[in-house]
Every structure is written in structure tokens, then in C-alpha cells.
A and B are shown apart, each in its own frame.
Chain A
């Protein structure tokens, strides 16, 4: 970006000393390959949308009665049109991801503050290392743990919540046992996106100008007041875009949802009851093995909806970061 290509000298061509000895062709080829790799990214994304559209085409241009029959068999006769099918799925996806974000947000900002401002320096280094490692644990293992360890052990807690907070419509009882519910799934997803949000928030918090912090402390602020006055306003946009990325991850998460949630197709906020909602991603993975060609088209159509949704969320995150950068 700041380098210039070798300048041709005025005597070029006359003297063999100033002309490049060799490698001119390699130079051109290399540049071409680099350009091709860059353009390939454009092509691949175009191909993603195109191939998905082509495969989902029977949904729009094909036989509509066959489509609605397929959707009816998928849902046991509950939905007959594509939007009637994808609507509850979209609702479930957003509900689960938003809940996970709400749970993860406060905890991960807390952890990030702990690492950046409270923990002793040596401990903080170890902790940030652990957080980074946790981000790499495969989702199938979170699903396995959620399904076999968390589900049996969390029932008493949800039962308690349903008993004492049951007057809030969200927690309407009775709590299902085993709790293969939206609440449990949201908890597992929250644990999964925790490391992502934490590591980004921590990086931002650590960049807070020392002068701002010292100024706040020098005016007699307590540590928390210092964080409220200097650290949080500085890191605000970073936290927001980190949570957007976490949300994007939670929206597209398949395995943990597939392995824990007992699916349903309702517009329902009953977090503690089983068979209420399902997410798009988990639905694709669950229905895919038994789907015929029209069924696959329908599933790919729902995949496109998910693609657009995560695209918008990521774009929003990028906008926020860009605005903050200016």
C-alpha cells in the first residue's frame, strides 16, 4: 500500500545493468495470482448465494401443492406455506439467541473487567489464556455436556424458578422434566458465546487510556466509579459490537440446540416448557437426513433466511465498530 514498484530509470533498455535481470514474468504471475485470490472471495460469496438460490428455487417456481405437502409432513400438518413454516423457526432462533446474549452479556463484561482491572497481573495473563482456549472447544462437546450433565442437574433450579417466579409469563410452569427447554439451551449457548464476548471486551478495556483512569481516581473516584466514568464509556462501542458477534454465533449454532432442545413450532415465550420452539439451524440438521428433494429445497430456503439474518447482524456490528473508529 505504501511501497512503490521499481521505478524504470531513464536509461532503461539501453543498459543491461538497470533492467531487472529476471523474474519479470514471475512478478506478473504472482500479482495475477494474488488478485485472483482476492476476486475468488467475491466469487465464492456470490456462488454461496447463487447455489443456495438455485437449490431453493423449487420452493418459489416449483409445484406449490407439492411444496405445501412437504411442509405439512415436516410439521405434522401444523404449517402449509413456507412463511408459515419459517416464521416460528425464525422466532425460535431469535428468542434463543437473544436470551443467550442477555445471560452472557453481563457475565462476560464482568469477567472482562475482572481480567483487565481487578485480577493481579499474573493471574490475568493466565485467565485470558484460558478464555481464549475455551473459545476453541467444539460445539458438539458443549451439546454433549448440556444434554448429559446440565439437563439432569438443572431441573431443580428451573422447578424452583417456575414455583416462585411462575407469575411472570416467561417462567410459566410447570417446568418440564427433563428440562430440554429453551431456557436450558439459552444457558448453554450463553456459555458458548461467553469467551468470544469476553476476549473482545477485555481487549477494549485494556486499551482505556491510563490518563483517563488516573484522572478519575485522582478526583477521588472509587474503583467502580472510575470504571463507570472512564472504562465503560471508552469501551461502549466495542462491547456492543462484541455482543453482536456473539449474537451472530448464537444465531447460527446448530449442534448444542440439536442435542438439547425438544423441538416445537409455536410462537411461545414459555421458556421452561419443552416442545415450544425450534431454531432454523437445528431444524435443518434434524430434518435433513430424511428429506426428499423438495424437502431439501425447503430446508435450503430456511437456510437462506438464516444467512440473511446473520448477514444483517454482522453488518450492524461492523457499522458500529466503524462509527466508533472515526
Chain B
């Protein structure tokens, strides 16, 4: 019996087949690059318009005045057209309030989950609920804070602290998740060494574990703040909107930057009567909205940068 002759050429891919595969490869490559470029267009447009339209009204007068004594499109006695001082103060106070609530709660919850709970049933439930919480729509958080204050304090309560409560509901899950990640990275050797020296568990956690994880926790918290500082919907119903500066977090309405942007946007146009001064500008609400949006974007981006720099600088030290 002679060996069967195998016609290897039969298995050779045809030239058109190879060409088709190559063509498909190139088509997909083009599509992927195209997807990237297509996505860049709106994002660049968004940043570009915010910067270009925002700088026209962004000056010291805009930053240092609130919206009292602003009538239609007329200039105020100080020569400006109203400003965002009250909104900046409101944003800072409300966000600070949210921070003070959610960072301790979030960090301690993560400490419980990682250091104490192990894999108990309670821990799995809390894990699940933290995930659920991170998916709560922001407007539902607003409704919750509103309902809670309506039941506890009295119907129709509106103040800055209510806004802080709504925001902290959105912030806690982020803080818990990042802190958990950071605590997981802390090497077990450190814990064991400390405990072997007879240090109590509380001191081990506060002085060794949390201190090692601190940069990560700080940067995670800053990113969480950057996320909630731009929230609008929950603050519309909890913190309200006023034109003057309100320094008291616990009573009276408060304006924040995102709400200010929205309110100016919904005004659309300012009135200019026939006998108005020459400086009257009908499009001033939109210009104010863009300038406030620019300030807001800068605030968010700077917070993000700080968070990332903290994470990078301190994690490099570990090595």
C-alpha cells in the first residue's frame, strides 16, 4: 500500500478569502477609530462652548456679587449684571455638610465590613444594599430628604441641610466602596504584627490600617465630592432657590451653582424696557448660566485633579 497522497493545496485558503479577512480587519479598525472620533466631537464641543461663552461674563464682579438688585437685563450699581457669590457659598456649605455626614459613616461602614464582619450574613446584606444605594436616582434621593424633613420637622421644610442629607445619600456608597478597596490592599502582615505586639484592635485599625489606607481614602472621598457637587435635581426640591446670600445652613433656602445654572437657563431672556439704559442686555441670563457652568466645571475638574494627585503622590511613596 502506498501512502495516500495528501493534496495540501486543498487546504490552502483562497486568495479572495485572505483578502476578505484582511478587509474585515481594516474595516473594523476604521470603525473603532471612528467611534472614538465621533465620541470626541460632542465632548470637545461641550468643553469648548462652556469655556468660550463662559469667559465673556466671568470677572471679579460676577464672583463677588449675588443676584439681589438685579432688575431685568439692567446693570447693577456696581457695574456688573449680578453674580454667583450666594451660589458658591451655598454649594460649599451644602457639600461640606454632605461630607461631614457621609465620610465618617462611609469609612466606618467599610471598616466594619472589612475588619469586623468577615463573611457574615449581615455583611453580605450590607454589601448588596450599598450597591443598591449607588444606583438610587438623584431625584429619588431628593424626594427622600424632602419626605424625611416633612415628617420630622414639618411639612414644606426647605433648608440647606436637607440638601446635604440628600447629597450624602448619593455620596455614602461611593465612599464605602473606595474605602473598602483601599482597606483590602493593606497587607495583613501589618495587622498581624500590630496585634502580636498586644495592641488593641481599635488602635491597630486607627493607627495602622486606616493610616496606611489614608491617601486612597482621601482621594476617593474627593472624587465622591466632585460627583455630588454637580448634582442639581435633589437640590431643586430640598434647598430651594433664592437670590440673596444665605449663610445659615440650617434655615432658609439656599442656592447652589448647578441650581443657579438651571434657573438662569429657564429664565431664557431678560426684559429690557424701551427707556432702559444703554447697558441693558437681554441675553444676560444665558451668559450668566454659561459663566456659572464654567466655574462649576473648573471646580469639578480641580477637585478631580487634586484627588488623583493625592492618590498618585502617596501611593508612589509606598514603593
A-B contacts, 10 of them at CB < 8 A, read: A31-B116, A34-B115, A41-B109, A45-B129, A118-B32, A140-B296, A142-B46, A149-B49, A223-B29, A252-B139
Q: What 1/0 flags go to B118-130 for Cβ under 8 Å of A?
A: 1100110110111
Known: A139-B230, A222-B22. 12 other contacts (CB 8 A): A1-B114, A1-B117, A27-B200, A37-B108, A41-B133, A52-B144, A145-B46, A191-B39, A223-B25, A251-B137, A293-B155, A299-B143
> Does B205 have its Cβ within 8 Å of any Cβ on chain A?
yes
Q: How far is the CA of A253 from the CA of B140 in the complex (A)?
A: 11
- Given A31-B116, A51-B151, A144-B261, A255 and B29 contact (CB-CB distance below 8 Å): no
B21 touches A191 (CB 8 A): no
Which A residues touch B46, using CB under 8 A?
137, 141-142, 145, 149, 191
Q: What 1/0 flags go to B130-149 for Cβ under 8 Å of A?
A: 11111111111001101110
Please tell me which one of the listed residues A45, A47, A224 contacts residue B25 in the complex, with CB atoms under 8 A apart.
A224
Which B residues touch A114, using CB under 8 A?
32-33, 35-36
Which A residues touch B33, using CB under 8 A?
114, 118
A191 touches B42 (CB 8 A): yes
Q: Is the interface of A mostly helix, strand, loop or mixed?
A: helix
- Given A26-B202, A138-B296, A314-B135, A38 and B49 contact (CB-CB distance below 8 Å): no
Which B residues touch A284, using CB under 8 A?
139, 143
The 4 closest A-B pairs by CB, nearest first: A252-B137, A138-B230, A110-B35, A37-B108
Q: Count of A residues near B, CB < 8 Å?
A: 91
A143 touches B265 (CB 8 A): yes
Chain A min CB distance to B15 (Å): 15
Nearest B residue to A17, CB-CB: B198
Which A residues touch B204, using CB under 8 A?
3
> Does B290 have its Cβ within 8 Å of any Cβ on chain A?
yes
Q: Which of A78-113 contact B (CB under 8 A)?
A: 106-111, 113
> Does A65 have its Cβ within 8 Å of any Cβ on chain B?
no
> Does B185 have its Cβ within 8 Å of any Cβ on chain A?
no
B39 touches A52 (CB 8 A): no
> Does A313 have its Cβ within 8 Å of any Cβ on chain B?
yes
Q: How far is the CA of A306 from the CA of B109 in the complex (A)?
A: 27
Spell out A's residues near B (CB within 8 Å): 1-6, 20, 23-24, 26-27, 29-31, 33-42, 44-45, 47-48, 51-52, 54-55, 106-111, 113-114, 118, 132-134, 136-145, 147-150, 191, 194, 222-225, 227, 245, 248, 251-255, 258-259, 281, 284-285, 288-289, 293, 299-300, 303, 306-307, 310-311, 313-315, 318
- Given A24-B200, A51-B148, A225-B21, A254 and B137 contact (CB-CB distance below 8 Å): yes
- Given A288-B237, A318-B131, A34 and B116 contact (CB-CB distance below 8 Å): yes
Which A residues touch B36, using CB under 8 A?
110-111, 114
> Does B309 have its Cβ within 8 Å of any Cβ on chain A?
no
Q: Which of B59-67, B73-81, B188-196, B243-251 contacts A (4 or more CB under 8 A)?
A: B188-196
Chain A min CB distance to B292 (Å): 9
- Given A41-B126, A42-B125, A315 and B132 contact (CB-CB distance below 8 Å): yes
Q: How far is the CA of A38 from the CA of B105 in the complex (A)?
A: 8
Q: How far is the CA of A52 from the CA of B22 in the complex (A)?
A: 58
B21 touches A42 (CB 8 A): no
Q: How far is the CA of A114 from the CA of B297 in the complex (A)?
A: 27
Nearest B residue to A259, CB-CB: B265
Chain A min CB distance to B107 (Å): 8
- Given A34-B115, A118-B33, A255 and B45 contact (CB-CB distance below 8 Å): no
B108 touches A33 (CB 8 A): yes
Chain B min CB distance to A298 (Å): 12
A311 touches B132 (CB 8 A): yes
A255 touches B200 (CB 8 A): no
Q: How far is the CA of A108 from the CA of B148 in the complex (A)?
A: 39
Nearest B residue to A115, CB-CB: B36
Chain A min CB distance to B254 (Å): 16
Chain A min CB distance to B179 (Å): 11
A47 touches B201 (CB 8 A): no
Q: Which of B285-306 contact A (CB under 8 A)?
A: 286, 289-290, 293, 296-297, 300-301, 304
Chain A min CB distance to B154 (Å): 13
Q: How far is the CA of A137 from the CA of B108 in the complex (A)?
A: 29
B262 touches A38 (CB 8 A): no
Q: How far is the CA of A33 from the CA of B107 in the complex (A)?
A: 11
Which A residues touch B266, using CB under 8 A?
259
> Does B28 have its Cβ within 8 Å of any Cβ on chain A?
yes
Nearest A residue to B49, CB-CB: A149
Q: Which of B223-267 contact A (CB under 8 A)?
A: 223, 226-227, 229-233, 236-237, 258, 261-262, 265-266
Nearest A residue to B47, CB-CB: A137
Nearest A residue to B118, CB-CB: A1
Q: How far is the CA of A85 from the CA of B3 in the complex (A)?
A: 81
Which A residues touch B39, using CB under 8 A?
107-108, 111, 191, 194
Which B residues touch A144, using CB under 8 A?
50, 261, 265, 289-290, 293
